[in-house]
Amino acid sequence: MTSVLALTGGVGGAKLALGLARVLPPGELTCVVNTGDDFRHLGLDISPDIDTLLYTLAGLADPVHGWGRRDDTATFMQALTALGGATWFHLGDADLAMHVERTHRLAAGHSLVAISDDMRRRLGIAQRVVPMCNEAVRTRVRTAEGWLAFQDYFVRRRCEPAVRELEYLGADAATPVRELQTLATQPGLRAVVICPSNPFLSIGPVLALRGVREALARCTAPVIAVSPIVAGGAVKGPTAKLMGELGFEVGHAAVAAHYAGLVDALLVDDDSGCAPGQAPWITAPTLMQTLEDRERLARCVLDIADRLAAAPRP
């Protein structure tokens, strides 16, 4: 029985997911993960957000970058460079095991859901880690140079080109995982948490799947989002830059607008820009630097969910 469902992308979202994992009893957290960043590189099927979450929950994540594995070696990349291979996307030696094994199992007919579940078990993770769907959904961005595949934009071009438009190729045709399909009516669901990942790049693909927006809007459990904006900007990554390029004022209001009608509360570090008529903005320290920060924010999210559940719904 899942008690908390977290929707998450990569580094920022994984921090809160780790906090939730640590304050909830084992097995009570299910993380549904963005796969819009997934791509095929050097013939390998790479799922960056799933891996970031697995490494984070298993205590294997690189503490400096947030992605990749701690204490990984770079022997493969050095040898690949000598062979003239593509080096714009770094693949550590241990990290590579994930990609090779995933690619091998996918080719053998296993689903991404089944593979992810087996891997989290093998890495000793008590929480469930579920890709948003089994089918390929590919985020791409339109720039002055035309459409770019997500990782071309994000890693190869370091988010430099201004983004005019986003799309999630394949989202219309994909079937959301069961956890998303049953979200509206699942008995015993304590809360749905939208983690502080990029609302457009990381949560956007999940929301673009058929029925997910409707299910969130109808969800009987409280839906709480945490804004990724801290002190008026993004903690890391292109969230603030992208918001501006898409025509939004950088701040919580754009996040609130993105999640309008879907969430019961939006946690923000500062509610000075609060607009009337939107989901209640609740202030909390949302910057997660230490492990204690992650746990404290997780407890805060759960407290708010429990208070909302106890209060009469409007």
Q: Does 117 bind a second copy (CB under 8 A)?
A: no
The beta-strand segments (E) located in the chain are: 4-8, 29-33, 39-41, 44-46, 128-131, 138-143, 146-149, 165-169, 191-194, 223-226, 229-230, 233-234, 265-268, 281-283
Of residues 64 and 83, the one with the C-beta less far from a second copy: 83
The 29-33 sheet, strands edge to edge = 128-131, 29-33, 4-8, 191-194, 223-226, 265-268, 281-283
Structural contact between residues 28 and 220, judged by C-beta atoms closer than 8 angstroms: no
Nearest distance from C-beta of residue 118 to a second copy, angstroms: 7
C-alpha 194/C-alpha 12 separation (Å) is 11
Taking CB under 8 A as the criterion, the residue among 26, 63, 64, 107 binding a second copy is 107
Identify the bridge partners of residue 282 per DSSP, sorted by sequence position: 267
Q: Which of residues 35-74 bind a second copy (CB under 8 A)?
A: 42-44, 69, 72-73
Contact flag: residue 95 with a second copy (CB under 8 A): yes
Asked if 80 is part of the footprint of a second copy (rule: CB under 8 A), the reply reads yes
Measured in whole angstroms, the distance separating CA 139 from the mean position of its chain's CA atoms is: 13
> Contact region for a second copy (CB under 8 A) — 86-94, 125-133, 174-182, 237-245?
86-94
Task: Determine which residue in the list 65, 75, 156, 220 makes contact with a second copy, applying CB under 8 A.
Answer: 75
Count of residues in contact with a second copy, rule CB under 8 A: 32
Question: How far is Cα 59 from Cα 219, in angstroms, rounded to an integer?
Answer: 32
Short-list 146, 105, 127, CA closest to 5: 127
CA angle 21, 12, 103 (to 5 degrees): 80
**Residue 104 interacts with a second copy (CB under 8 A)?**
yes
4, 18, 20, 98: residue in contact with a second copy (rule CB under 8 A): 98
Using CB under 8 A as the binding rule, whether residue 249 contacts a second copy is answered as: no
From candidates 62, 66, 70, 93, binder to a second copy by CB under 8 A: 93
Q: How far is the CB of 43 from a second copy (least distance, A)?
A: 4
- Strand runs (DSSP E) across 14-108, as ranges? 29-33, 39-41, 44-46
Please tell me whether residue 82 binds a second copy under the rule CB under 8 A: yes
C-beta atoms surrounding 124 within 10 Å? 10
| Contact flag: residue 307 with a second copy (CB under 8 A) | no
Work out which of 13, 48, 92, 204 binds a second copy, going by CB under 8 A: 92
Half-sphere exposure of residue 188, counting CA atoms within 13 Å on the CB side? 6
User: Using the rule CB under 8 A, which residue among 59, 88, 114, 118 binds a second copy?
Assistant: 118
Closest distance to a second copy from the beta carbon of 112 (Å): 15
| 152 belongs to the binding site for a second copy (CB under 8 A) | no
Is 1 a binding residue for a second copy by CB under 8 A? The answer is: no
Q: Please report where in the chains the tokens 């298993």 appear, as a residue.
A: 58
* 101 makes contact with a second copy (CB under 8 A): yes
Residue numbers at the binding site for a second copy (CB under 8 A)? 42-44, 69, 72-73, 75-80, 82-85, 92-98, 100-101, 103-104, 107, 118-119, 122-123
